[in-house]
Structures are given as structure tokens and as C-alpha cells.
Structure 1
Amino acid sequence: MVMPTTVIKDRHRFRLLSLLLSIFHLSVWYSPSGKIILPLMLMHLGLFLFWQPFWNRKQEINPVIAVLFFGVISFALTIAPLWFLILWAALLIGFLESGSETGKGKLIYLFSIIFLISEIIFFVAPRLFNIDIFPKEWQFALFTIPFLITAPMLLVSSDEKLIKTNHFDIFRGLFFSFGVVVLVFGAVLRHKLFSTEYIDSLLQGFLIIGITLLLVGWIWNPGLGYKGLFFIWNSYLKKVEIPIEKFLLDLTESAKIIAEPDDFLSSALNILLQQEWLDGVQWRSASCNGELGECCGSELKLNHGDLRLKLYSSRPIGASLLIHAKLLVHILAYFYISKEREKKLSQKAHMEAIYQTGSRLTHDIKNMLQSLNSLTGIIEQSKKDDAEDVLALVRRQLPAINERLSSTIDKMSAPHLEKTTQIAVHDWWQSLQDRNIGRRITFTDNCIVDAMVIRELFDTVADNLLDNARVKRLQQKDIDIEIEIRSSRENISLFVIDTGWEVPEKISNLLFNETIESASGMGIGLYQSAKQAENNGYKLRLDDNRNGFVCFVLEPDL
């Protein structure tokens, strides 16, 4: 079955707390009557299930466990109601103290704790041990005063956001509950043994506990420049070599030295085997398996993804050792998975480098073929009177094509070594014009210096930009293409302009940052050109992007 608390909003939790405390007070008041206390406490426990912030409210409860739980409580209330009330009140105090409420929630929890401590001290304990501390004339006042604490809580709503982020310190709560129980039973014991007044015994107990806490706090951290137990304890911890710390240090050193995942796994398991409680280990992963040490005794199976481990110990594996082993294996598996991921990324980077190199070579070969086609077309269309001009053009172009072909072959044999050749800017400009004769491209030379440029970079960028513009011309007739070279002192800039449509914004934002699948061809070529420019101290960017004027520029990255 599902817990019924799902129907109660979190903002009503303080009201629920008020109701369950009020019913608890009624249960304490009518505790001598066994017929009344049982239904009251069952109502109280039901409200507790509505209020409790510890378990998931949508969690299903086994009906058998629920019946057994309420059965045990009913039996305890029938046999020893007052003992049960003391223990239950102490647990409630622990629950309230373990919370990390802030603001009004902290104040309400404080008053609730005071309420429960008062119930134990002034009502439950005196009845349990037959101690009379109040005259009978005070009965009505004693019955009504606790409601003055719980009634105002009905008017307060709780903050649902704070409840969802609330944390609980169970050990602090249990320690506080234990302190309350010790205080009450210590006062009762002193009252019985030394015939002192019960209230006097309580006050003495409060005083002793307060002085003890002050002394412990002062010894722990005296302040005023003095060093207490806190400093000594910290110094001790710094000097002690914790086994998990040594394991982490050795594992980190191994991770720095060993790159292969399987080799690292074997080394890491050898480090793990240095734990004194561990005698042997077997492992199986997606790519390897093996065993180390003596695989006998208590067996612990731990899986982490594709990694399956069996740990063997000569001693029984208890809860604490299980948690410790899981932590060590989780850390080891994290390092191992990181190594596998690193290897996959390295392989991916290698394949990407091969792909990009192949793409660049394809572009280079395509550009050389286009140059040869242009040259062949000029030769076929030439007349006898143009023989000398054509021959001069062939003499200029063939060495350049041969040089570019040699460079391409060098890239194929050693793709990681990229050679660069310096060439005079005007010589490169003339070569570019020769390669693009008859393609309806306007060349504008505004370079007034005789500087040197990187042939491979300027060839790649110019060919890619002009190719993209010509592809656009196939889709949009009668657009103009212009390439311009400019100089500023010793810096050379290259501009390629067309009068076609603008580059879509979705593509322009990614143009030089990643490869793009595009029918227009502006993808891998421009991406590689941008990377090549970056490696050589240049920057390729889209300078202007509007219908009728699209301008790319290659310039020094100053």
C-alpha cells in the first residue's frame, strides 16, 4: 500500500506537528486509563506518518510490516505504557533536534523540544516512579498549559522549498535524546537514593550537564591563542597515514604513468590488493580478465558497468568493510572508466585528424584539377596568334601546379608535419589570377608593399572562398565575385566579396567553429581554412553578411 501522507501538503507540517504533540499530551494525561491511551497513541502515530520528513511519501509499505509495527506498539502500550511514552518522546526529541530548520521552523522545533522535555520531566517520569511534585489543585492548569505551546503552531505555515532541501543529523539527534534520558533518570535516581526533592535533583542535573559541556568546549578549543584538543586532534590526523589516502595516492601515480586501460586496471588491482583485509581479487571487463592473490574465503561481488570484480577475504565481510570496499572499488572503477574514455577520445581525435587531412587533400586536388581544366580550356580555345601568350601562361602555371602537387604528396606521407613556403605577395597574386582566368572574377590589387605571404595558407583560403562563391553563382545567376588584396604597413589582408544571398544566421554562427553539412559547400573547407589561419597567426572571419554583399576576410590576428 501507499503511505497516505501524499494527500497532505508540506505547508501544513507545522500544523500536523501541533496536532500530534497535543494528542501526545492527551495520551500522557490519560495514561492511567489503558482503554483511552491506546486509540490516542494510534492516532498520534498516524499523524506522525503524515508529518515525518525522513522517508519518501510515495514509498510503498508492506502491509505485513505495517500490521506488525502497530501490533508491537499496541502490545507495548498495554504492558508498559509509561515506559513506551518516555522512549517515544525521547525519539521525537531526537527527530526534532536532528533537523536543520531555519527561521520560524527552527523556533517551532525549539518550542516542540521544550514541550516534549516538559512532558517527560513533569508528567511521565513522576507517574512512572510515583513522585508527587504538584498539588492536586493544579491539575486543570497542568492540563491546559501545554496547549498554549501547541495552539499557536496551528496558525503557522511551513515553507515547502526549505523542507525539500532540509538535512538531518541523526547522530546529533540521538545524542541529544540520550542526554535528556540521562538527565531525567539521573534526577529520579538521586531523588530515590538521597531523598532530595525531585525538582532540586533536576536543577542539579541541568547544572552539572551545563558545566560539563562548558568544560569540554573550553578544553576542545580554549581560544585566545591557546591550543586545545581540537588542534592536537588535527595534528594527529595530519600525521596518521590513512589507508584510503595511500590507496588514492598510489592510484593517482599509476594513472599518470600508465595510459592503456587494461594495464592500468591490472596495476590498480595490485594496489587494491595491498589492503590488509584483502587476500585475492578476480576481475572481468569488456576487454580482459584475470585474478590476483589467493581467491578463497569470504567472497564479495561488486559490479561497476562492464567491470565485474570478486573480492576475497579471510575474515568475514561485515557492513563497515562492505562500505569501505564499495568506496575503494568505486574510485578504482572511476579511474578505469576515465582511462577507457581517454583512449576512445584519443582514437576519435586520430580518426578526425585523418578525416580532416583527407578532406584538405581532396580540396587541394580538386583545386589543382580545376586549374588544369582551366588551362586545358584556354589551350583548346586559343588560336595560332595566341600561341606565345598561351605558352607563357603554361610555363607559369605548370611549375606552380607541380609544386602544389608535391606539397599534397608530402601531406599524404606525413599529415602531422605541415610545411609552409614563403612567397612574394605579388608573385602569389599573379599565380592566383593565372589559375582563375576566364571565371568572371574581378581582381583588385591594393597592396603597395612587397611583403612575403604563406603560400599554402593563402592558396587554401583563396581557393575555398572562390569555390564557395562559384557554387553560389550556379544557384544565383549573374552575381559578381571580387577578390581584393590590401596592405597595411607589412600586414597583408585578403577579401573575397560576392553579391549573392547572405549566409543564413544559423550557419554563419558556426561557420568557422565546426564542420557544417551544407549544399553550398561552406563547411569542412572553411573550418579547415580557419584552423590553418589560426595556426599561422591569421584570422578568417565573415566581415559583412547581407543580401547583395557578402564579404569574407583573411587578416593577421593582431
Structure 2
Amino acid sequence: MTESIELPPRQAWLTSLTSLFTRVAPGRWLALMLLALHAAVVFDADVALTRAFLLAHYGLFLLWQPLVRSETRIEPRLALPVFAMAAMLVLLDGSWVMALWLAILAGLVGAVATSQNERGPRWAYLLALAYLLALLLAWVLPQSLGGAAALPEGFQDAVRFGLPLLPLAILFLPASRQRSTSSTLDFIYGLMLSLLIMVMALGVFAVVAVAKVSYAWALVQTLLGMAALLLVLSWLWNPRAGFSGLGQVTSRYLLSVGLPFEGWAQRLATRAERERDPESFVRDALADLQELTWIRGGHWQAARGEGTFGEPAEHSVSHAFHGLALTWQSQRPLTPALALHVRLLSQLLGYFYAAKVREQTLREQAYSQAIHDTGARLTHDVKNILQSMKTLLAAADMSTPEDSDRLLALMKRQLPQLAARLSQTVDKLKQPNEMDVAQQPAQNWWSALQLRYEHDDVQFFADALDDTPLPQDLFDSVVDNLLTNALRKRQTEPGVAVEVRLGLHPLVSLTVTDSGVAAPEHVARNLFMSPVASDFGLGVGLYQAARQAARVGYRLELTDNEAGRVSFCLQATENSSNP
């Protein structure tokens, strides 16, 4: 039986309060934050009441802020700036402090607005941004400039009682409970927006102080000047008149950071095509990076080796991608742009290194597969030679003294054949690349085959023979496998007839037929596709023979598979080089 754990009353109250706060949509906190800010800035109240509204505003800001998740535990070193900002906002009584805070808050709201996908939250943040800009331009800036920028009473009443309609409208917009995170914020956009608002405020102050004009005219002149400047910058960013523009220049600089990135990437790709060893490729690629002035050296480590490049330095940054660990060392701490560039270089090297490792693995697997195929084919050749030797030994055991002359003649004919075949097998083992290369005239090969099986009661039929070249290794391997399997049936079915038929026109074909039982269906279905197990050993040898035939332009098929007639046919394909 489990017992429930009861929390202390204070801790349970804090837990329930935190859960209540996290269930409130961020847009609601935003609206309440702006209303508290309006009450503290616009309405003339006692200093204590104003500071109370500012403190409430900052508390609501902490509940709304998208920089840190509400469930995240804040460390003391991060909490210090939070309390410092609250103290500056509440204790320092100045219009310029409020203007700075409004610029920062507007940039943050604008950054959040760019990350919203739903229409309701996007409109909420746009209304909040409009409210902050209106409060700054219509109230805070005129108050900071003094009497020269005093606004009419009617306009002040419109700002005091009409501007809060924007935060109130946010309360009635459909809200989303999805919390924004720091990863979705466009900090560059927010920073640029805050800087533009600060430049506009300082521009208005400069025009009023120098030209001695009204606040409204100074604001118009500043907005027109900033609009013209932004228009020129937007044209220079992408001019479309032959000049690449500031956008491409900036992107190229951020990408290269003093390094001709395109040239280095091209050399990296060329080196990847030329160098086969992954570790040597990494060593040469890092040696090519020594022209970077902001990188003094470093260290790399992989599964099969490690090394250093350049000279050691005080500061370092490490990255690991796809089994390649890189440590970059510099004389000074890397700036964010340089750190991003180092990460890009490390990732690119990691991708190339992984590709080289996969290439080496595939090369080793192909080599092992070639050894396996060669060994399997030679194993069947040796097996067939051994079968012929067993046949000769059986003939010697069954012979009588009267058969000595006939047995001696048989040995003289067969032993040189076996010796020659064994010698060919050994030569194939020494030079596997020359397998399937040797050619033999059809007439000579047919005569040698008849001599080899003259005592096995095999019938041979052939069309008009000529000197058509046949791949000797392929035909010897296939016919030995087929005849061995057919003759083995006589152990359980005496009297099985076996015949071999050779045709040369229009395409070369070799057919072996026996009158034994048919191969089982599951064996026949997978006979040439994969090694199969059967009572007669069919499958492995024929699988290798089929692959060997495909490599030299032939096709091995089971043409008939029924009781009393089982036929295998080796035939040249139409695109084969053989006639």
C-alpha cells in the first residue's frame, strides 16, 4: 500500500500559484503589463504609487518575457541583472530612462511578433508594438524635451484616455497558450528595431536642440530623414544593377571571415577525390587551413588516428561530428561570427571524413566479397576434381586382374586431366583477376568433356562443331556442377539417364538433362537467387555458377523441372560477345 506524500502548506500554495500563472496565456500578461506601464507613466500620481505601478509592470514583464521559460530555475548570477534592471526602472526617476526602457521593450515585442504564426497572437504583438511607439513619441519624448515640446491639452487627454484602448483590445483577441522560447526569437530583428527607435529619439532631440523648431516638425523631419536613409540602404542591399550589393558582401564576409571559402571547399573536394585514406585526408585538409590568421593550431582525433596542426595557443574550442573530434586553438577568444565559422568548417570536415570512412568500408567489403566469391568458386572446382578422383578410386577397387590393362589406360587418360584441372585451380587462386578470361575452341572443349565422363554413362549430343571460343572456366564449372548433381541421383534412383547437348548457333547454349525426380518447389524458386539447402546439395554451387555466368554474358536457367525430365540450360545472352 502506497502512502501519499503531503507537501507543506507554504510549498503547496506556491506550487498551485505557479501552476495558475503558467496556465495564463502570454498575451494576457502582455496586456496587463502595458496597462500597468500606462498607469505609471501617463497618470500624475504620487511617487510611491508610480513606483508601485512600475514594480507591478516589471513583475508582469517577468511573467510575460519570452527569454527564459517559466519552469526554468534561474541561477544567482543570472538573477542579478534582473534585479538591477528593476532597481534602475523603479528608483531612477527620469524620462530618458523610460525612453530607453520603451525602446528595449519595443525591440523585444517586435522580435516576438516575427515568430508568431497564428493571426491572433500576431495581431496582439503588433498592437503592443504600436502602443509602445505611440507612448514613446506622444508622451515620453515630449516630456523629456521640456517646455519646447509641450503638447496641447486636448492631445494629452487623447493619449491619456485613448491609448489604453490598444492594451484592452489585446485582452479580447484570441490567445494562444504556447510559450515562446528563446530559440524562436529573431534577436537581430529586435536589436535593429531597438537601435532604430533610439536613433529616432536622439534625432528628434538633436533637431529640437539645434534648429529650435517644434516637436512635431522635428519628429516629421527625423522620420523623413530615416525613411530616406532606409530607402537608400535597401537599394544598396540589393541594387540589381550589376553591383552585388551590401547583402551579398555581408553574407560573403560572414561566411568566409577572411578565408576564400569557395576556393578552400573546391580544394577539399578535389583532395577527397584523390585521397583514399580518411586520416590522411583530414591531416592534409587541416594543413591547408594554416593560412587562417585567427587560428594558430589545433588537434584532431578519429577512430584510427590522431594528430596536431599548427602551434598551440591559449584559447580553444572543440567540435565533434561523425566520429571526428576537432579542437581549434586561437590566440584570443573567438567572436560569435568566428565561432560559427569554425563550427561550419568542423561540420564540413566531419561530413567529408564520414564519407571517406564509408568509402573505405565499402571498399573493404567489396574486397572481402571478392575473396568470398573466388573461394566459393574454387571450392566447387576442387570438389568436382575430388569427385572425379573418387570415381577413379571406385573403378580401381572394383577392377579385377583381367581389367588391369583397361584400368591402366583409364588412369593414363584421366590423371593428366585431373592434374591439369587442379593446376588451373591453383593458378586461379594465385591470380583471381584472370578468372573467366581463358577461351578454348568449342571442338577441343567438347572432346575433353567426353573424355572426362566416358565411364559415367552420359550421352553427348552436339551440332556441327567449329572453333567457336568458349569461356573455359565458366563451362567447366557449370557442367561439372550439373553433371555431379545429375549423377548423384543414381544413388537413390538407379538407371537415371543423363545427357549433355551443346549448340553453337544462333547463340551458344549448353543443356544438361536427367530423368530423375524434380527439384522441390522451394529449391527451384530460389536456386539461382541465393544459396539453398537440399538433400542433393543443389543451390550453393549453382548460385555461384549463375553469378559467374552473368559476369561473362551468359544466363543459367532451369528450363524443365518435372519428374522424368529436369533440364538446366546455360545460354549466351544477345548482347554477349560470343557468337
Once the 2 structures are TM-superposed, how far is the Cα of residue 207 of structure 1 from its aligned partner? 3.7
- Matched with 1:457 is 474
1:532 is aligned with what amino acid? Q
**How big is each residue's C-alpha offset from its partner over 1:107-130, in whole Å with a ceiling of 9 and x where there is no partner?**
556534531332123224544342
Partner residue, 1:415:
432
Q: Residues of 2 paired with 1:545 and 1:231: CA distance?
A: 77
User: Does the 8 Å CA contact 1:485/1:492 hold for their aligned counterparts?
Assistant: no
Q: CA deviation at 1:30?
A: 2.0
Matches within 5 A, 1:254-333: 254-260=271-277, 263-264=280-281, 266-279=283-296, 295=311, 297-298=313-314, 300=316, 302=318, 304=320, 315-319=331-335, 321-325=338-342, 327-328=344-345, 331-332=348-349
2:439 and 2:469 in contact (8 A); partners too: no
Range with bigger deviation, 430-439 or 492-501:
430-439
Residues 121-520 of structure 1 mapped to structure 2, 5 A cutoff: 121-129=133-141, 130=143, 132=151, 134-136=155-157, 139-148=160-169, 151-154=172-175, 169-187=186-204, 190=207, 198=215, 201-223=218-240, 226-228=241-243, 230=245, 242-260=259-277, 263-264=280-281, 266-279=283-296, 295=311, 297-298=313-314, 300=316, 302=318, 304=320, 315-319=331-335, 321-325=338-342, 327-328=344-345, 331-332=348-349, 335=352, 339=356, 342-343=359-360, 345-378=362-395, 380-381=397-398, 397-418=414-435, 419-424=437-442, 428=446, 431=449, 435=453, 452-464=469-481, 487=503, 489-494=505-510, 499-503=518-522, 508=526, 512=529
Change (3 A) 1:110 1:306: closer
TM, length-normalised to structure 2: 0.69
Which of 30, 34, 43 matches 2:39? 30
Asked if the contact 2:301/2:307 (under 8 Å) is kept, the reply is: yes
Aligned counterparts of 1:365 and 1:123: Cα–Cα separation in 2: 96
Deviations 1:442-500 (CA, angstroms, capped at 9, x unpaired) = 979686776553231122234445667889999x9999897775758421345678623
Q: 2:547 aligns with which of 514, 526, 531?
A: 531
SS of residue in 2 equivalent to 1:539? strand
1:360 positional shift: 1.9
RMSD over equivalenced CA pairs, Å? 5.4
Quickly say closer, same or farther: Cα 1:387–1:200, change in 2 above 3 A.
Answer: farther
Structure 1: how far apart are the matches of 2:85 and 2:564?
A: 86
Q: Could you list the per-position Cα deviations for residues 280-331 of structure 1 after superposition, in whole angstroms to 9, with x for gaps in the alignment?
A: 55667666666666x4553537475886766665x32433555545554554
Given residue 102 of structure 2, which amino acid in structure 1 is its aligned partner?
I
Paired with 1:531 and 1:524, the residues of 2 have a C-alpha distance of 11
Cα gap change, 1:306 to 1:354, in 2 (>3 Å): same
- The alpha carbon displacement at 1:528 in A equals 3.4
Distance in 2 of aligned mates of 1:499 and 1:212: 91
**Residue pair 1:445, 1:485 contacting (<8 A) in 2 also:** yes
CA–CA distance in 1 between the matches of 2:366 and 2:106? 63
| Higher deviation after alignment, 201-210 or 187-196 | 187-196
1:350-398 CA-partner distances (Å, limit 9, x unpaired): 3443333222221110011112223433454467998898788766654
Structure 1 position 82 matched with structure 2 position 88: no
Give the whole-Å Cα distance in 2 for the aligned partners of 1:61 and 1:116.
Answer: 28
- Say whether residues 1:20 and 2:29 are aligned partners: yes
Determine what percentage of the aligned residue pairs are the same residue. Answer: 25
Distance (whole Å) between structure 1 residues aligned to residue 130 and residue 363 of structure 2:
68
CA, structure 1 residues 461+108, in 2 after alignment: closer, same or farther (shift >3 Å)?
farther
Tell me the distance in 2 between the aligned counterparts of 1:59 and 1:452.
82
The SS at the match of 2:434 is coil
Report the Cα offset of residue 142 of structure 1. 3.2
**Contact 1:97-1:176 within 8 A present in 2 as well:** no
Structure 1: give runs of 5+ residues left out of the alignment.
none
Amino acid at match of 1:420: A
Q: Distance in 2 between matches of 1:142 and 1:555?
A: 92
The equivalent of 1:64 in structure 2 is: 76
Indicate conservation of the 8 Å contact 1:482/1:496, yes or no: yes
Report the residue type matching 1:535 in the other structure: R
Who wins on radius of gyration, i.e. which is larger? 2
Secondary structure at 2:174 match in 1: helix
Task: Decide whether aligned partners of structure 1 residues 481 and 351 sit closer, same or farther in structure 2, where only a CA change above 3 A counts.
Answer: farther
Shift of 1:427: 5.2
Q: Could you tell me whether the CA contact under 8 Å between 1:260 and 1:339 is conserved in 2?
A: yes
